[in-house]
Amino acid sequence: MRRLLVGVVAAVVLLAGAGPALAGPGEDVLRPGEHLEPGQALLAPGGVHSLVVQPDGALGLYAGDGTAPRWSSGRGVAGSALTTGATGDVRLVAPDGTLVWSTATGGSGGTLRVRDDGEVVVTDPAGAVVWSAGTAQAPSTLDGPARLTADAVLSSPDGRYTLLVVPGAGVQLQGPDGSVRWAPGTEAAPARPDAPAPTTAVALELRADGNLVAVDEDGDRVWRSRTAGLGARSLAVGDDGTLVLRDDAGDAVWSSGAPVGPSTLDPGGELAPGASLGSPSGHLGLVVRDGALVATWDGEDVWTSGDVGGALVRLQPDGNLVLVDRDGTPVWGTATAGHDGARLVLEEAAVLLVGPQGGVLWQVAVPADRVPAGVRPADCARVDGPVPEADTVRTRSGIRVHACLAEAVDALVEAARADGVVLGGGGWRSPDQQVALRRAHCGPSDHDVYDKPASQCSPSTARPGASRHERGLAIDFTSGGRTLGAGSAAYAWLVEHAEAYGLENLPGEPWHWSVDGS
């Protein structure tokens, strides 16, 4: 993707000419008085990061082979050009002269630059940074001989894992939620209860002999990888949270081991003893241990199938999750055969067996008192904007909502079923899905999508960023596969009972219920 992008950008710039008002092809700077046209870009000196004036008129920062921007200036206007004014203000200007976006650095005499670490900055004539996008990426590798101390950080390419020295705590590899995934010596056997506390490692050294060594404040070794003489030349943090020492040929000579297993098991997949599944943050795990299938939270058991002599877990193509013994005979199962294509998914606070149509066939939910507020907020009022899918869960009824609302939705659906009313529906939507709905319901232009009042759409659809669906706090209910109407028995049931479960109806839309009626 990057090579194609750079080639296209260079071609566009060359065809446009090299007048004094245009940035040169492949340059990393946009000087006062220069501009970029749609489709043109600045390219970091190392060629990894590109700042592109996109066709939609927004700026997008791209890295590596990524197909989505790492950073964007926000909503654009098609045909906009990027300029650095004579006073140093960097501005996106629409074809009609309207200001779309600005760094507000007028008077600085600044220059826009794209750096090799992915940072986009405006610097004054003395080189001081007067504005930055905050997009700098920490390196993911440490090339030896080198030393990692408190003033340096390694990060996985996707930014989810970070290797750093924490004051008072020492060298740590932290996961997406800030919890420790690895520290020097943690792969060794647990110490005796009466053993002295381990010495804090204040630095990690990749030495010329290929040994990775953790040292204390006196410079004494407190841990080593025992790879001296094996040719290790670089230490890398992977997107799976694994630290790997590699030689000049790129072969691994040491690994910390992946701290978090994959989060899904596809049809036909197996989970053997020693392997694990893990939620994206790594809190929730699923393992085969001591003849049982076990769900763990931060290493402590929260559910088990019981010791039935199981040797491995297999997700059969027919949708049945089974634990089999060493002879391959099933000794435990979820009794969910007949749902071809079902997948096992670990979300942040639940193990779910999800059917081909999205319904939940079987699940293990982590007890609410075990889940910290940062993973499952207790109060939906704290959710004040669109949330990522990782903050949502799929309820037993198959409706995806914010974790704070899941228990109430399950209770509501079960109560309705007890009264003879079968409810389904759609809950959380991604921002992209909300934009797509606005285009379908409100019109194809950016004005239709972002500015038109919801009441002028058919059906009424909230502006992107304003929908309770994007927060996972709204549900469009169905019954019998059909959207609810005002005269339906399901609507009548909700009118009478939904308030007890924290849901209110949006007037004029019998199907739409949310935490605040909007």
Q: Cβ contacts of residue 251 below 8 Å, gap of 6+?
A: none
The pLDDT value given to residue 177: 60
* 123, 113 contact by CB (below 8 A): yes
Judge if 329 and 303 occupy the same domain: yes
Strand partners, 252: 246
Digits of tens for pLDDT over the chain (518 positions)? 333 343 333 333 333 333 334 555 568 899 999 999 998 999 888 777 889 998 888 898 887 655 567 788 887 898 999 999 999 999 999 999 999 999 999 999 999 999 988 889 999 999 999 998 887 777 788 898 999 998 888 888 766 788 999 888 899 988 766 667 888 876 543 333 444 445 788 999 999 999 999 999 999 999 999 999 999 999 999 877 889 999 999 899 998 876 667 788 999 999 888 778 888 667 788 999 999 999 988 778 999 999 999 999 999 999 999 999 999 999 999 999 999 999 998 887 789 898 887 777 888 888 766 665 444 444 787 787 888 887 787 887 778 888 888 888 988 999 999 999 999 888 998 888 888 888 888 888 888 888 888 888 887 888 888 899 999 999 999 887 788 888 899 999 999 999 988 999 988 888 999 998 88
The pLDDT value given to residue 305: 94
Judge if 270 and 151 occupy the same domain: no
Instruction: Output the CA angle 404-406-409, nearest 5 degrees.
Output: 125
The pLDDT value given to residue 407: 83
Q: Cβ contacts of residue 84 below 8 Å, gap of 6+?
A: 30, 31, 32, 33, 34, 35, 90, 91, 110, 111, 112
- The residue assigned the tokens 């953790």 is 214
Q: By C-alpha distance, which of 477, 499, 475, 500 is closest to 401?
A: 475
Q: By C-alpha distance, which of 177, 250, 175, 245 is closest to 212?
A: 245
Strand ranges (E), 198-291: 203-206, 212-215, 221-224, 232-237, 243-247, 252-255, 264-265, 270-271, 276-278, 284-289
Structure tokens at 247: 């030689």
Inside any domain, residue 469: no
Q: By C-alpha distance, which of 354, 358, 352, 342 is closest to 268?
A: 342
Inside any domain, residue 266: yes
Q: State how far the Cα of 300 lies from the Cα of 285, in Å rounded to an integer.
A: 9
Q: State how far the Cα of 177 lies from the Cα of 200, in Å rounded to an integer.
A: 22
Inside any domain, residue 349: no
DSSP letter at 329?
A: -
Total residues belonging to the chain: 518
Structure tokens at 509: 């839309």
Which of 113, 132, 151 is the last residue in one of the domains? Answer: 132
Q: State how far the Cα of 75 lies from the Cα of 451, in Å rounded to an integer.
A: 12
**Which value, to the nearest 10 degrees, does the dihedral of the CA atoms of residues 503, 508, 512, 515 take?**
-30
Q: Tell me the three state secondary structure of residue 141.
A: strand
Judge if 23 and 128 occupy the same domain: yes
Structural domain range at position 299: 260-341
Judge if 163 and 182 occupy the same domain: yes
Instruction: Output the CA angle 208-210-211, nearest 5 degrees.
Output: 105
Which of 132, 161, 189 is the last residue in one of the domains? Answer: 132
Inside any domain, residue 475: no
Judge if 184 and 271 occupy the same domain: no
Q: State how far the Cα of 24 lies from the Cα of 42, in Å rounded to an integer.
A: 9
Judge if 127 and 154 occupy the same domain: no
Give the CATH number of the domain where residue 190 resides: 2.90.10.10
* 380, 404 contact by CB (below 8 A): yes
The pLDDT value given to residue 462: 86
Handedness of CA 440, 445, 450, 451 (dihedral sign): negative
Inside any domain, residue 44: yes
- Going from the C-alpha of 295 to that of each of 160, 453, 491, the distances in angstroms are 23, 47, 38
Instruction: Output the CA angle 46-50-52, nearest 5 degrees.
Output: 160
Inside any domain, residue 292: yes
Inside any domain, residue 233: yes
* 198, 222 contact by CB (below 8 A): yes
Which of 293, 325, 341 is the last residue in one of the domains? Answer: 341
Handedness of CA 490, 495, 496, 497 (dihedral sign): positive
270-271 vs 312-315, strand pairing mode: antiparallel
* 423, 478 contact by CB (below 8 A): yes
Q: How many helices (H) and strands (E) does the chain have?
A: 5, 43
Judge if 150 and 128 occupy the same domain: no
The pLDDT value given to residue 23: 53
Q: State how far the Cα of 5 lies from the Cα of 18, in Å rounded to an integer.
A: 19
The pLDDT value given to residue 387: 85
* 339, 398 contact by CB (below 8 A): no
Judge if 8 and 123 occupy the same domain: yes
H or E segment and range at residue 414: helix 406-418
* 469, 461 contact by CB (below 8 A): no
Q: Count other C-beta atoms under 10 Å from residue 474's C-beta.
A: 28
Judge if 128 and 7 occupy the same domain: yes
Q: Cβ contacts of residue 421 below 8 Å, gap of 6+?
A: 479, 489, 490, 493
Q: How many structural domains compose the chain? A: 3
Inside any domain, residue 384: no
Judge if 127 and 14 occupy the same domain: yes
Judge if 81 and 145 occupy the same domain: no
The pLDDT value given to residue 12: 32
Q: State how far the Cα of 309 lies from the Cα of 326, in Å rounded to an integer.
A: 8
Q: Cβ contacts of residue 487 below 8 Å, gap of 6+?
A: none
Judge if 213 and 281 occupy the same domain: no
